[in-house]
């Protein structure tokens, strides 16, 4: 599988019947559909099999290959960008629906994710300091 074609760089032809697609073109289009749907289980393998004139088992193999392709070609910048987009969209929707408590939870989750990724520093724990003497910078 190390010699897999770059399905993201493959152009899916507009002037060709889906039943005439090469396996590379078919997988490129299936990858686009998976990315639009957000998950491989969100697409119907039976419908895809009908579209391309292949068996459902062939589509299942295509999806397995595409999973491997996605994992092997994951780009952390892309993942970060997608995650940020999802959080921002969720927070805006929660705010527009006046679900402020859930919006705060989403922001806290976003901040935790950023800290885990090393994008922001963790805030130090706050400690109360008791002091009876003069405060620095005052005359007392």
CB 111 within 8 A of CB 119: no
Residue with tokens 């997608």: 82
Query: CA 12, 13, 19, 21 torsion: positive or negative?
Result: negative
Residue 126: exposed, middle, or buried by beta-carbon count in 10 A (0-12, 13-18, 19+)?
exposed
The set of residues, in sequence order, having a beta carbon less than 8 Å from that of 108 and lying 6+ positions away, is: none
Each residue's pLDDT expressed in tens, for the chain with a length of 140 residues: 457 899 989 999 999 999 999 999 999 999 999 888 888 888 999 999 999 999 999 999 999 999 888 888 777 767 777 788 888 888 999 999 999 999 999 999 988 888 887 777 766 666 666 766 666 655 65
Q: What is the pLDDT of residue 121?
A: 75
CA distances from 96 to 3, 40, 84, 91, 138 (A): 47, 30, 18, 9, 47
Tell me the C-alpha to C-alpha distance, in Å, between residue 87 and each of 36, 47, 70, 84: 17, 32, 22, 5
Whole-prediction pTM: 0.56
Instruction: Answer for the pair 87, 106: CB distance below 8 angstroms, yes or no.
Output: yes
- Structure confidence at residue 70 (pLDDT): 82
pLDDT value for 126? 64
Do the beta carbons of residue 7 and residue 66 sit within 8 Å? yes
């Amino acid at each position: 599988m190390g010699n897999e074609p770059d399905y993201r760089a493959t152009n899916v032809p507009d002037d060709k019947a889906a039943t005439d697609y090469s396996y590379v073109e078919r997988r490129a289009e299936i990858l686009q559909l998976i990315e639009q749907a957000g998950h491989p289980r969100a697409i119907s393998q039976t419908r895809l099999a009908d579209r391309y004139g292949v068996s459902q088992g062939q589509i299942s193999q295509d999806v397995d290959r595409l999973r491997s392709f996605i994992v092997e070609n994951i780009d952390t910048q892309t993942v970060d960008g997608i995650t940020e987009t999802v959080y921002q969209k969720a927070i805006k929707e929660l705010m527009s629906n006046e679900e402020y408590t859930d919006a705060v939870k989403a922001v806290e989750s976003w901040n935790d994710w950023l800290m885990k990724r090393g994008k922001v520093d963790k805030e130090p724990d706050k400690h109360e300091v008791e002091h009876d003497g003069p405060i620095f910078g005052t005359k007392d």
